[in-house]
Structure 1
Amino acid sequence: MRKPACRPGSRLRYRANIKISDEQDKLLNLSLAQREGSEYLLKENNLLGSLTQSRNELRVIDLFAGAGGMSTGFLMASNSKKSFRVIGAAEINPIYVKSLEKNHKFFEENAKNRANDCCPKEFSPIDLKSQNGRDIIKNVVDREGGVDLLIGGPPCQGFSQSNRNSWSPDNPYNKLVDIFVKCAIELEPKVILLENVQGILWTPKSSKRRAKDIGVVDYVSQKMIDAGYVLFPAVVDAAWYGVPQHRNRFFLLGLHKSLGYSVADFDEWGAFPKPTHGFLGKRHYVTVDEAICDLPEVANGESRLIQKYQEPNEEKLKANPFLMRMREMAPRDVIEGHIVSRQADYVINRYKNIPQGGNWQNIQHMINNYRDISRTHSNIYRRLKLCEPSITIGNYRKSMIVHPEQDRGLSLREAARLQSLPDWFTFCGNLDDSLPGGIMHKQQQLANAISFLLTLAIAEYILKL
C-alpha cells in the first residue's frame, strides 16, 4: 500500500496525494487550524447545494479544449435531472477543432435524455492569447447570461519533466496558464477547474533571479484567492477513478466565495470525489486486459480504419463495466481507429525481446542509435502488463510503448481505451503522415487528452455542490 508522503505534524503536509509547505498551506487557505476548528465536516450527501439550486443545467466554458476530452466528461455527467451544457469551447489548432466539433455533435445527436442544445453551435479556431479570441468567449458568456464553470488544461510542455528538452520556467507555453487566470477573472465563473501535469507544482514562474521563489501554482493561487475563490489543490491518479492507466495529474478547483463554501465544509479530499478503485477505493484497478480484450488482433502498420470487434461472449461483456461504458453509444459491431503506425523491422525485432513489464533495459545490446542510453526514460520501449493498469500514455508512438502480447506498437483505439475515451470519440486527420492531420496528429491529440472517466467523476461530484 502506498503511504502518505509525510506524517501529520511534519513540515510538509499530505493532502489528497499532494505535498504542500506551510507557506503554501497558508496561501491556499488550507490550514489545519481552520479545518480542525470547525465543529463538523459536511458529508457528500449534506453539501450546501448552492451551485445547482438555481438551475438544472450548469453552463460550461472549456479553454484549450483540444479534441474535447475534458468537456466530454462534463457532458456525460448527470445527477437527479441536473447536467452540464457546454456553451463555448476554445481551441487554436484547426485539426483539433474539427475533432472537437465532431465529438460534441455526435454526443448531442446520440445521447439519451439530453437537450439538443447542450453543445456549442459554432466551432472555429480561437487564439486565447489575443484580445479578439478572449472577446469571442466573453460574448458567448454575455449572451448566455453568465458561466457557471470554467474548465481547461493549458498545454503542459513547459511543466512536464518527462521531456527534458521542453521543460523550462520560460517555455512560452507556460504563459497560457496566465491566460486561463485572465479569463477566469474576466468571466467570473462560480467554479474553476484547472488541470495540468504534476510538474507544474515545482516549476518556478520565471528563471529570473527575483522570480525564482515564486512557483506557478503559488502565482495562480494568489490571483484566484484575490478574485474571491476558495481553492482546493490535488494530485490524483486517474486509475483511482476507473481509468486503466496510472496517470498523475494536478487539479486546482476553485469555488467562488459567493457560493458560501469554506475548506471546513469538506473532508480530507476537499472538493474532489473519493477514489473508487485501487487501494483507496472499493473496486479493483481496471487492467489493460479488461480495457482492450475485445479489440481484434492487428499487425504492424495496420491502416484499416473500420474493423469488427473481437467479441467476447455476452456474459463476459456484461461482467466488464469498463467495456460497457466504452461501447455505449458506439456502433454495436464495428470499431473505428484501430490503426497502428508502421515500425521498421529492426524495431519490431527489439519488441520481440521485451517481456511484459520490461523496457529498453532488456534490449540494451540491441540499441546502438542512442547517443546516451543512460539518460533514456524508463518508459521507453515499455511493454505493458495485461494484469495491471497501463503506464502513463503520452505520445505512445514516440515512447515506443509495446502491446502486451503482440509484437507491435499500440493502436490509436487501444491508446484511447487506456485513456478511457469512449469508442465513439474520434480524432480527425488523414492517415498519410505526409498530409496535415495524419496519424501522428491523431496520436498527439490523444496524448493531450484528459482521461474521460477522471473528468466524469469530478463533474458528477460538482453536481452535488
Structure 2
Amino acid sequence: MQKPACNPGSRVRYRANIKLSKEQDRELNNSLNLNFESPSLHGALTQSRNDLRVVELFAGAGGMGVGFLMAGNRTSGFRIIHSAEIHPVYLKSLETNYKYFYDHANNRLDRCIPSDFIPVDLTKNCDRQTVYQAVEEAGGVDIVIGGTPCQGFSPSNRSNWNSKNRYNQLVEYFIQCALEIAPKVILLENVQGILWTPRSDKNNNLRKATVVDYIARKFTNAGYVLFPAVLDAAWYGVPQHRNRFFLLALHNSLGYTADHFGEWGAFPHPTHGAGSNYNYVTVREAIADLPMVDNGENKVIQDYSEPTGEQLRSNWFLKVMREMASPKIIEGHVVSKQADYVIERYQNIPAGGNWQNIRHMMTNYSNIEKTHSNIYRRLKWDEPSITIGNYRKSMIIHPEQHRGLSLREASRLQSLPDWFTFCGGIENPQSGGLMHKQQQLANTVSFLLTLAIARYILKL
C-alpha cells in the first residue's frame, strides 16, 4: 500500500497469487514495524446528519449494500436510497436480502432500504434519470458505491483485456453517474485487472493510460482525493484469500488530504493475519458445522444442529453467520451433480492438491499445461480458502468429502451470513437455476470486507 497519486495504477502492488501475496505481507509488516499509524479522522461526513444516504450502481445481489446496511445502528448508519441493477434475477436477490434485513435487524435505521426495486440499465439515459430523480427526491446523497462487471478485467479471461470490451466500457457509466450525483465519497470495487487494462481515446487509438488512470483523472479533476488499494478479504475476517482493487475517493470539501492517513491510506487496518490481532479465519471455522451432503444434493432447506453457546463463543465467524438466520435449518446447502469420473478424480486429490495430482486422469484436456493451478483444488481445513469465483466451473473440492462445494459452503467462504440467499429456482433452469446462483455468488463482494470499509467510512 502506498500513498495515493494521480496515476494510482502505477502505485498499487498487484497481488498475483497467495504465495507471492504472503511474501508481500511480510515485507509490509516489516516496513511498518507491525504498527499501523492511526489516522486523524474528524467525523466530517456525519457533522450535519447521522443517516448517510447511499446510491449503489451495478448493485448485483446486494453483497456490498448489505455490508453498508449492517455497519450502522438505530442512530447512525446508512440509508440506501437507490439500487441500480439491470439483471432481474440479481435484482430479485437484492430485494429479497434487503427486505429480510429490514424485517429482522434489531439495530438499524428506519427507511434504510429502497422503496422500489426495478431493473435499471445505466447505459440508457432514461434509466440514469431515474437514479438522478431518486437523488433529488432524497435531497442529495453522501456516498456512491458499486463495482462494474469484471469480465473485461478478470485474470481468468485474459483475451478480454482490451479497451474495446463492452464490459470495460461500463466503467464510463459508473464515472458519469457518480460525478453527476456529486457525493462526498465514492467507493469503486473491481478485480485487479482494471489496473493494467488500457483505455482508448475517442478515435479508438490505444493510449498508455489504463482504465484506472482514466478514472483517477476524472475524479481528481472533480475535486476528489484518491486512495487506491488492493485488499485481501482474508485481512478482514473472510475465510478466503480474495484480492480486489478498491478506489476510495473523498471530496476535498471533507477536509482530508493524503497526509491524514499515513502509509495505509483511507482504509481500515487489517484485523486478521500476520501483524494483526487475530489469525486468519479458516475453512474449518467457516463450514465444519454444516451437515454432510452427497454429490448432487438438491434439498434446498435442511435440518441444522444449532451451535452451542460455547461453540459460538470460540468461533466468532460462526456467530456472525448465524445472526438473524432461521433457527434449526440451513438453506442452500445444495451441490451440483458431478459425473462418476469427476468424483473418482476428487478421490485421488489430497488436501491442498489440484489437477497436477491427477495429471494421468485428465485425458479430456487438450492442452493440460494451460490449466489454471486452482482447477480441481481441494481446500485445506486449517487455512483460508482460495478465491471463490465460479466454484463449480473451477471444480473446487470439499476438504474431506469427495464432492464439490455446496452453495451455502461457498457463501460462507464469501462471509455471506446464512440468511443471505440467491434467487433463481433449482428445478426450473429458465428461472436461473443453481448455475445462475453460483455465478451471482462469484460476482458478490465479500460481506465482511465491505462491512469493515463501511464502518470506517462512517467515522470519516
In the TM superposition, residue 370 of structure 1 has moved relative to its aligned partner by 1.1
In the TM superposition, residue 43 of structure 1 has moved relative to its aligned partner by 3.4
1:415 aligns with 2:407: no
Secondary structure of residue in 2 paired with 1:279: coil
Tell me how far apart the structure 2 counterparts of residues 209 and 66 of structure 1 sit (CA, whole Å): 30
Q: Any residues of structure 2 matched to 1:233-382 within 5 Å, and which?
A: 233-382=228-377
Name the residue aligned to 1:190.
184
Aligned letter for 2:323?
Answer: E
Post-superposition Cα deviations, 1:120-167, rounded to whole Å, max 9, x if no partner, equal 010011100000111010000000000100000100011011223444
Tell me how far apart the structure 2 counterparts of residues 382 and 43 of structure 1 sit (CA, whole Å): 39
Aligned letter for 1:274?
Answer: H
Aligned letter for 2:448?
Answer: L
Secondary structure of residue in 2 paired with 1:192: strand
Post-superposition Cα deviations, 1:158-181, rounded to whole Å, max 9, x if no partner, equal 101122344433211001111110
**Would the alpha carbon gap of residues 239 and 16 (structure 1) be closer, same or farther in structure 2, given more than 3 Å must change?**
farther
Equivalent pair of 1:42/1:265 in contact (CA under 8 Å): no
The one of 60, 63, 71 equivalent to 1:66 is 60
Tell me how far apart the structure 2 counterparts of residues 148 and 312 of structure 1 sit (CA, whole Å): 40
Q: Any residues of structure 2 matched to 1:32-181 within 5 Å, and which?
A: 43-44=38-39, 46-78=40-72, 81-181=75-175
Tell me how far apart the structure 2 counterparts of residues 166 and 222 of structure 1 sit (CA, whole Å): 23
Secondary structure of residue in 2 paired with 1:173: coil
Tell me how far apart the structure 2 counterparts of residues 204 and 51 of structure 1 sit (CA, whole Å): 34
**Would the alpha carbon gap of residues 80 and 424 (structure 1) be closer, same or farther in structure 2, given more than 3 Å must change?**
closer
TM-score (norm 2): 0.91
Tell me how far apart the structure 1 counterparts of residues 265 and 105 of structure 2 sit (CA, whole Å): 31
Name the residue aligned to 1:26.
none
Gaps of at least 5 residues in structure 1 are 6-11, 20-40
Tell me how far apart the structure 2 counterparts of residues 122 and 80 of structure 1 sit (CA, whole Å): 22
Name the residue aligned to 1:397.
392
Aligned letter for 1:215?
Answer: T
**Would the alpha carbon gap of residues 138 and 464 (structure 1) be closer, same or farther in structure 2, given more than 3 Å must change?**
same
Q: CA RMSD in A?
A: 2.1
Tell me how far apart the structure 1 counterparts of residues 197 and 122 of structure 2 sit (CA, whole Å): 22
Name the residue aligned to 1:457.
452
In the TM superposition, residue 47 of structure 1 has moved relative to its aligned partner by 1.2
Name the residue aligned to 1:434.
429
Tell me how far apart the structure 2 counterparts of residues 287 and 463 of structure 1 sit (CA, whole Å): 29
**Would the alpha carbon gap of residues 359 and 206 (structure 1) be closer, same or farther in structure 2, given more than 3 Å must change?**
farther
**Would the alpha carbon gap of residues 420 and 450 (structure 1) be closer, same or farther in structure 2, given more than 3 Å must change?**
same
Name the residue aligned to 1:217.
212
Secondary structure of residue in 2 paired with 1:231: strand
Tell me how far apart the structure 2 counterparts of residues 209 and 342 of structure 1 sit (CA, whole Å): 45
Secondary structure of residue in 2 paired with 1:455: helix
Aligned letter for 2:185?
Answer: V
Secondary structure of residue in 2 paired with 1:59: strand
Tell me how far apart the structure 2 counterparts of residues 55 and 318 of structure 1 sit (CA, whole Å): 35
Tell me how far apart the structure 2 counterparts of residues 80 and 15 of structure 1 sit (CA, whole Å): 39
Tell me how far apart the structure 2 counterparts of residues 308 and 229 of structure 1 sit (CA, whole Å): 51
Post-superposition Cα deviations, 1:390-447, rounded to whole Å, max 9, x if no partner, equal 0000000000000000000000000000000011000001103632210011000000
TM-score (norm 1): 0.90
**Would the alpha carbon gap of residues 213 and 14 (structure 1) be closer, same or farther in structure 2, given more than 3 Å must change?**
closer
